[in-house]
Amino acid sequence: MAVTKPIPLYPTYAELQELAYSLPDKISVIASELSQENFNLTDYPQVNEFLTNTKSQSWWKIHWLWGFHFLLYIGRNKSVHTYDRFRNDVERFLLWCFLENKKPLDDLRKTDILEFADFCWQPPVNWISDGNQARFFLKHGYFNVNEHWHPFKIQAPKNQKNIIVDKKKYRPSQQTLTSTFTAIIVFYNYLMGEEICYGNPAHIAKKDCRHFIHDAQVKEVKRLTHLQWQYVLDTAVDLADEDSNFERSLFVIAALKTLFLRISELSERDTWSPIMGHFWQDEDENWWLKVFGKGRKLRDITVPPDFLPFLSRYRLTRGLSALPLSGENTVLVEKIRGQGGMTTRHLRRLVQTVFDQAFERMKQAHGEQKALKLQQASTHWLRHTGASMEIERGRALKDLSEDLGHASMATTDTVYVQTENKKRAMSGKQRKVD
């Protein structure tokens, strides 16, 4: 194993943009063209030392620069969330190239990529952290590496927070493995477009990766039962009645479930700020909400009359009129302290607080087993819960698909309806033992 310890290579997208001023603005440079003047990482002294010390190879800086320009492109043309996801995978790949495989990217072949997949399947323990860790921390004006950060992460389930995880048991999920290959394939495609690489070994290797499992399972929709949802809603209402600060939590929870929103669609982003003016009425006085969603697509979601009281009570608490005005630019979900909208992390905390209290209430009334899903649930479960309940109510699949923002009704059917599986389950009930 390599002696050198892996360190984070790239900061947040906002900090990456700042770095652009001190780095070459073109990707096709050679090592001899990189001087202290045009490759300035002095704000990140440990990254600079990692790339330039006596153990490093001359191509490390070039490859880091390739990754830098690729991630800058992703952040600029996709989203910050996509940047973070691609950064994780590209960072691991480059660290593996530097410290384990010790070959430049443009020399890698299919067998090398399959070796990288094996490495991701069972990485060394000292490459794994047991929770979320920041990459860097600011000290004396410099971004220092957080020594607790590692390229891979293993976490205990939400309902088993106090157990000690065994890093030796780390295995990536199929979704994580797919995401890794996607990132590396897109990275190579980018380098091919820049005429740096002339092939994509990751694309060729993917179909032969032995860790992929062909999934023919019946999909389980991660949702709350009607009773669990009622406890969440009642808990949120009770908290808001007792303390007006919880009106915001109630509004967020009602919006995620009733309007089928993703948490990111309520959050403040570089390219979009949700405002009250995104609620609007058509000529028939139907309410709609304009949303900037996945894939950088705008869509309008129907807003049922049943949701309007939750919108009104939240607005009245903020000293606004009961319903939004045309062109109103008030922040949709505002911070209690400071200005602007909330991040996805803060929004998740609001929801989690309500989930935790709803779990305790339901556990006392119905037992822990009935309430268990409230410990496992994430904010995205509210979107699934709302959509599943609409299907049970008999809503047209086409209308639901458009509100969900799915590109195809087939996606809605696959995730929520599963028509063929329901028929299969019914026919399966006819089997006899005798």
Residue 204 pLDDT exceeds 50: yes
In DSSP notation, 413-434 reads IIIII-HHHHHHHHHHTT----
| pTM of the predicted model as reported, rounded to 2 decimal places | 0.67
Binned at pLDDT 50, 70 and 90, residue 102 comes out as very high
Residue 391 pLDDT exceeds 80: yes
Report DSSP state, residue 334: B
- State mean pLDDT over 155-181: 80
User: What's the pLDDT score for residue 409?
Assistant: 76
- State mean pLDDT over 351-361: 95
Residue 171 pLDDT exceeds 60: yes
Q: Are residues 345 and 397 in the same domain?
A: yes
User: What's the pLDDT score for residue 215?
Assistant: 61
Give the residue among 331, 263, 259 at the shortest CA–CA distance from 301: 259
User: What's the pLDDT score for residue 100?
Assistant: 94
Binned at pLDDT 50, 70 and 90, residue 8 comes out as very high
Side chain identity, residue 304: P
Q: Are residues 315 and 259 in the same domain?
A: yes
Render pLDDT for 311-354 as a digit per residue (tens, 0 to 9).
999 999 999 999 999 889 999 999 877 788 899 889 999 999 99
| Structural domain boundaries, residue 67 | 13-206
Tokens of 417: 């309806």
User: What's the pLDDT score for residue 1?
Assistant: 35
Question: Would you say residue 220 lies in a domain?
Answer: no
CATH number of the domain that 258 lies in?
1.10.443.10
The answer to whether the CB of 75 falls within 8 A of the CB of 16 is yes
Report DSSP state, residue 165: P
Pairwise CA distance, residues 294 & 85, whole Å? 14
User: What's the pLDDT score for residue 380?
Assistant: 92
Residue indicated by tokens 């950064």: 87
Strand 128-129 relative to strand 152-153: parallel, antiparallel, unpaired?
A: parallel
Question: Would you say residue 3 lies in a domain?
Answer: no
In DSSP notation, 224-272 reads --HHHHHHHHHHHHHHHHH-GGGHHHHHHHHHHHHS---GGGGS-BTTB
User: What's the pLDDT score for residue 25?
Assistant: 74
User: What's the pLDDT score for residue 3?
Assistant: 42
Q: Are residues 184 and 294 in the same domain?
A: no
Question: Would you say residue 213 lies in a domain?
Answer: no
Q: Are residues 253 and 182 in the same domain?
A: no
Give the residue among 104, 77, 74 at the shortest CA–CA distance from 88: 74
Lowest mean pLDDT of 89-93, 270-274, 305-309, name the range: 270-274
* Between 4 and 285, residue with greater pLDDT: 285
Residue 32 pLDDT exceeds 60: no
Pairwise CA distance, residues 142 & 316, whole Å? 45
Q: Are residues 145 and 243 in the same domain?
A: no
Pairwise CA distance, residues 61 & 11, whole Å? 16
Tally of domains within the chain: 2
The answer to whether the CB of 165 falls within 8 A of the CB of 154 is yes
Question: Would you say residue 235 lies in a domain?
Answer: yes
Question: Would you say residue 219 lies in a domain?
Answer: no
Question: Would you say residue 379 lies in a domain?
Answer: yes
Q: Which of 70-84, 206-220, 234-248, 417-431 has the highest mean pLDDT?
A: 234-248
Render pLDDT for 399-414 as a digit per residue (tens, 0 to 9).
888 999 887 777 776 6
Q: Are residues 179 and 253 in the same domain?
A: no
Question: Would you say residue 392 lies in a domain?
Answer: yes
Q: Are residues 201 and 243 in the same domain?
A: no
Q: Are residues 65 and 161 in the same domain?
A: yes
Pairwise CA distance, residues 188 & 108, whole Å? 11
**Percent of the chain surpassing pLDDT 70:** 88
Q: Are residues 172 and 278 in the same domain?
A: no
Residue 37 pLDDT exceeds 50: yes
User: What's the pLDDT score for residue 38?
Assistant: 64
Residue 420 pLDDT exceeds 60: no
Q: Are residues 414 and 324 in the same domain?
A: yes
* Between 369 and 29, residue with greater pLDDT: 369
Residue indicated by tokens 């990132």: 183
Residue 221 pLDDT exceeds 90: no
Compute φ and ψ for 64, nearest 5 degrees: -60, -40
The answer to whether the CB of 249 falls within 8 A of the CB of 256 is no
Residue indicated by tokens 């979320």: 132
Q: Are residues 182 and 104 in the same domain?
A: yes
Q: What is the mean pLDDT of the chain?
A: 88
Which residues, in sequence order, are bridge partners of residue 185?
none
**Percent of the chain surpassing pLDDT 90:** 60
Render pLDDT for 257-266 as a digit per residue (tens, 0 to 9).
999 999 999 9
Q: Are residues 178 and 64 in the same domain?
A: yes
Question: Would you say residue 432 lies in a domain?
Answer: no
Compute φ and ψ for 142, nearest 5 degrees: -120, 150
